[in-house]
């Protein structure tokens, strides 16, 4: 049995969090690195990655895509929804019709020209939940 690590509030970790909270964009690690380096010129990219992971774990921030860094392909070219297992990464089609109202509701709220939307459910697949026991 392992205890959770006791996370420390290092200067690097604080600055990364502060800089990320400051912007309304959704920067990738490299951009965050550049932002943080203005205040901590000697910080390393590895530290940025490690802290982003820690901060996500602490729910202080989140990753925009849960997606592991792999392109995945679907033999069905029609828009449809997916459900993804958070334990094993398995992806199934969601037995769920398209919610076309979503785009209609969104249009008046944004300056973007809406073209499409994606909906993904996140859960635990039958295989993984039986393993939990």
**Residue 61 binds which one of a second copy, DNA, none, with CB within 5 to 8 A depending on kind?**
a second copy
Residue 81 found at the interface with DNA (CB under 7 A): no
Among the listed ranges 5-13, 34-42, 102-110, the one in contact with a second copy (CB under 8 A) is 102-110
Residue 133 found at the interface with a second copy (CB under 8 A): no
Task: Give the separation between CA 51 and CA 46, rounded to whole angstroms.
Answer: 9
**How wide is the angle at C-alpha 13 spanned by C-alphas 45 and 4, nearest 5°?**
105
Residue 90 found at the interface with DNA (CB under 7 A): no
Instruction: Residue 19: count other Cβ atoms within 10 Å of its Cβ.
Output: 20
- The two tokens of residue 122 are 């996140």
**Contact with a second copy (CB under 8 A): which of 2, 4, 118, 133?**
118
């Amino acid at each position: 049995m392992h205890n959770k690590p006791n996370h420390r509030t290092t200067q690097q970790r604080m600055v990364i969090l502060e800089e990320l909270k400051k912007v309304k964009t959704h920067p990738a690690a490299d951009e965050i690195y550049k932002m943080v380096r203005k205040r901590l010129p000697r910080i390393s990219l590895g530290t940025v990655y490690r802290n982003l992971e820690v901060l996500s774990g602490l729910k202080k921030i989140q990753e925009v895509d849960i997606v592991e860094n792999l392109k995945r392909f679907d033999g069905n070219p029609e828009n449809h929804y997916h459900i993804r297992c958070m334990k094993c990464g398995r992806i199934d089609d969601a037995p769920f019709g398209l919610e076309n109202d979503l785009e209609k509701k969104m249009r008046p709220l944004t300056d973007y020209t809406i073209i499409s939307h994606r909906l993904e459910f996140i859960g635990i697949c039958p295989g993984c939940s039986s393993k939990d026991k």
